[in-house]
Chains A and B, each alone.
Chain A
Amino acid sequence: MSVPLLSAKGLTVRHGQLTALHGIDLDLAPGEVFAVVGANGAGKSTLLRTLAGLHPPGGRIRLEDVDITGLSPHERVRRGLVMVPEGRRLFRSLSVAENILLGTVCGRRGGWDLDRVLELFPWMRDRRRERVDHLSGGEQQQVAIGRALVANPRVLLLDEISLGLAPVVVRQIYRTLPTLLEGDTSILLVEQDVRQALRAASRFQCLLEGRTTLAGRPGDHTAEEVEAAYFGFAGTATA
């Protein structure tokens, strides 16, 4: 790989006595969809939150070959590292449009704006003034994605975007991923749903208890290998 768009070296995160990440390395190429999979508590969300600037890590994080380890979350957004957090985390006192526009506060200039988000998710056009707590889970997820897109990210961090959603809604959201990749955006997605994640990603990394147990391209490993890495044993059922 040439110079990676996003690179993490030796990321270690401690929550008090507990070490959530043990020296994780990760490289993300431009225009790539990269999946981080693992069971509950594997450290996936901690990894994404660390990359977004919510946990001070040991190790280094570089974006477009610039060290961003010490930058605050909003400074990372300004440089193009934008996160869609687990559970959507929308602002309930703001309308749909206000939630999305908040993403422009510190974002970069580019092809994404409110109008383009409304084109991507046409249902929002008539409901842009509604408060977000009146929306379904899938609609809220789309608002969260729209809020991240208008920041015109170079790297989009998607944390468990399928969590709590009906399979049909999850498929709908995953169908929008190719659109999100336009403009050379890369996606780093974290999922418990291994099948969904590996279908979408060109490369993946499996975490278990804060350590990398498997990495590579989805086609390079059997389902049994992925399952063994996922659960920490050599299983026989499909992953």
Chain B
Amino acid sequence: MIWVNAVIQGLLLGGLFALFACGLSLLFGVLGIINLAHGDLAVLGAYVAVALLPSVHTNVLWALLFVPPLFAVFGYVSQRTVMGRSMRSGPLTTLLVTFGLSVVIQNALLEGFSADSHSFTLGALTTRSLHPASDISLSWLRMGILVVAVLVLVVVQLFLSRTGIGRQIRALADDDEAAAITGVNTRHVAAIAAAVAFATVALAGLAFGTYAQFSPTSGSNLLIFAFEAVIIGGLGSLWGTLAGGCVLGLAQTIGAQIDPTFGVLAGHLVFLAVLAVRPNGLMPATVEA
């Protein structure tokens, strides 16, 4: 039963990783941007909630009302200004710009909030769990995060496949020049894709804050996990992102079951193995219906 529990915990952890990786996958799949500030943006989202919620005891669900929308606006404006301009100078410039953004966010958070750790409360939900068998624990919080991750992926997928803007985003991902001469306002559509990606990053940041403690420098680790989930799943593939997150989660929890210090390393080793055997990931695809 201990191993069954490890598998269950791995899948639940995979939900969090998939939520982190969703925005990264979308930005890469549509705009070709490797966003090195991704993890720091998630942490920034959590700190925006810290700053705007009336007290640390306020239920973090209230933050869902304003943090993702704020980040959507932030994503739109960033893409229309800094990132959009850097894209016109080439992929290396974009990489450097997002790296710079990462450094700025970390230092601004250290300046504004110090290096102290924070976490969010969801009331009793934070600690409650189901025990369907001995040695098996199903945390309501972790199940909730997995459900949110799946919902986010379903909504993003429906948005891309069923809406006019979604079709334009997919066209942009396929061929930006052809999209432009077909009549797609490429800058506006790219900014909408960035807005969606940033909103999901903010959501991931809030989820992480309920799951573990965070500090201004937590973003680097989150970026690595998100990257690994995206690459294991397949670059630009939303459902691959969920698969990648679950594989990474499974690797970490099973690794930790073998040896408590081996969990994170096991995840990195699986990531390297996937890169070596299937460099395009388990479900390689561009963003598609």
Chain A residues in contact with chain B, CB under 8 A?
52-54, 72-74, 77-78, 82-83, 85, 89-94, 98, 101-107, 147-148, 151
- For A89, give its contact among B178, B185, B287 (CB under 8 Å): B178
Q: Which residue of B lies closest to A93 (CB)?
A: B288
The answer to whether A93 touches B186 (Cβ under 8 A) is no
How far apart are the CA atoms of A151 and B181 in the complex, in Å? 11
How far apart are the CA atoms of A90 and B182 in the complex, in Å? 10
The answer to whether A151 touches B183 (Cβ under 8 A) is yes
Most B CB contacts (10 A, CB to CB) among A82, A91, A94, A102 go to: A91
Q: Which residues of B contact A77 (CB under 8 A)?
A: 181-183
A109 to chain B, nearest CB (A): 13
Chain B interface mostly helix, strand, loop or mixed? helix
Q: Which residue of A lies closest to B172 (CB)?
A: A91
- For A73, give its contact among B174, B180, B288 (CB under 8 Å): B180
B38 located at the interface, meaning its Cβ lies under 8 Å from any Cβ of chain A in the complex: no
**A–B complex contacts, Cβ < 8 Å, 6 sampled:** A73-B181, A82-B181, A85-B181, A91-B171, A93-B173, A151-B182
B30 to chain A, nearest CB (A): 11
Q: Which are the 3 A-B pairs with shortest beta-carbon distances?
A: A106-B183, A89-B178, A77-B183
The answer to whether B177 touches A89 (Cβ under 8 A) is yes
How far apart are the CA atoms of A74 and B168 in the complex, in Å? 12
B268 located at the interface, meaning its Cβ lies under 8 Å from any Cβ of chain A in the complex: no
The answer to whether A91 touches B170 (Cβ under 8 A) is yes
The answer to whether B174 touches A103 (Cβ under 8 A) is no
Q: Which residues of A contact B180 (CB under 8 A)?
A: 53-54, 72-74
Q: Which residues of B contact A89 (CB under 8 A)?
A: 175, 177-178
B184 located at the interface, meaning its Cβ lies under 8 Å from any Cβ of chain A in the complex: yes
The answer to whether B183 touches A103 (Cβ under 8 A) is yes
A180 to chain B, nearest CB (A): 17
Chain B residues in contact with chain A, CB under 8 A?
164, 167-168, 170-171, 173-175, 177-186, 286-289
Q: Which residues of A contact B177 (CB under 8 A)?
A: 54, 85, 89
How far apart are the CA atoms of A39 and B189 in the complex, in Å? 37
Q: Which residue of A lies closest to B168 (CB)?
A: A105
A93 and B286 contact, Cβ closer than 8 Å, known pairs A105-B164, A105-B183: yes
How far apart are the CA atoms of A80 and B187 in the complex, in Å? 20
The answer to whether A83 touches B174 (Cβ under 8 A) is no
Q: Which residues of A contact B174 (CB under 8 A)?
A: 91-94
The answer to whether B182 touches A105 (Cβ under 8 A) is yes
Q: Which residues of B contact A107 (CB under 8 A)?
A: 183
A102 and B167 contact, Cβ closer than 8 Å, known pairs A89-B175, A93-B174, A93-B286: yes
Q: Which residues of A contact B289 (CB under 8 A)?
A: 93-94
Q: Which residues of A contact B170 (CB under 8 A)?
A: 91, 93-94
How far apart are the CA atoms of A148 and B182 in the complex, in Å? 7
How far apart are the CA atoms of A78 and B175 in the complex, in Å? 20
The answer to whether B178 touches A94 (Cβ under 8 A) is no
The answer to whether A106 touches B185 (Cβ under 8 A) is yes
How far apart are the CA atoms of A151 and B183 in the complex, in Å? 8
How far apart are the CA atoms of A53 and B168 in the complex, in Å? 19
The answer to whether A74 touches B175 (Cβ under 8 A) is no
How far apart are the CA atoms of A72 and B180 in the complex, in Å? 8
A52 and B181 contact, Cβ closer than 8 Å, known pairs A93-B289, A98-B167, A102-B171: yes
The answer to whether A91 touches B181 (Cβ under 8 A) is no
- For B182, give its contact among A54, A92, A102 (CB under 8 Å): A102
B272 to chain A, nearest CB (A): 29
The answer to whether B173 touches A103 (Cβ under 8 A) is no
Beyond the given pairs A53-B181, A74-B183, A107-B183, 6 more chain A to chain B contacts, judged by CB atoms under 8 angstroms and listed by A's residue number, are A73-B183, A89-B178, A93-B170, A94-B171, A94-B174, A101-B167
B253 to chain A, nearest CB (A): 34
Q: Which residue of B lies closest to A87 (CB)?
A: B178
- For B185, give its contact among A74, A82, A85, A91 (CB under 8 Å): A74
